[in-house]
Amino acid sequence: MIDPRAIIDSEAQIAEGVRIGPFTVIGAGVEIGPECTIGPHVVIKGPTRIGRGNRIYQFASIGDDPQDKKYRGEPTRLEIGDDNTIREYCTLNRGTIQDQGVTRIGSRNWIMAYVHIAHDCVLGDDIVMANNASLAGHVQIEDCAILGGFAMVHQFCKIGAHAFLQFAAGVNRDVPPFVVASGIPARPAGLNT
Among 68, 82, 83, 120, the active-site one is: 120
Sign of CA dihedral 22, 9, 113, 81: positive
Active site residue 120: yes
Among 33, 116, 119, 149, the active-site one is: 119
Convert the chain into a string of H (helix), E (strand) and C (coil).
Answer: CECCCCEECCCCEECCCCEECCCCEECCCEEECCCCEECCCCEECCCEEECCCCEECCCCEEEECCCCCCCCCCCCEEEECCCCEECCCCEEECCCCCCCCEEEECCCCEECCCCEECCCCEECCCCEECCCCEECCCCEECCCCEECCCCEECCCCEECCCCEECCCCEECCCECCCEEEECCCCEEEEECC
Among 33, 137, 148, 160, the active-site one is: 137
Catalytic residues: 119-120, 137
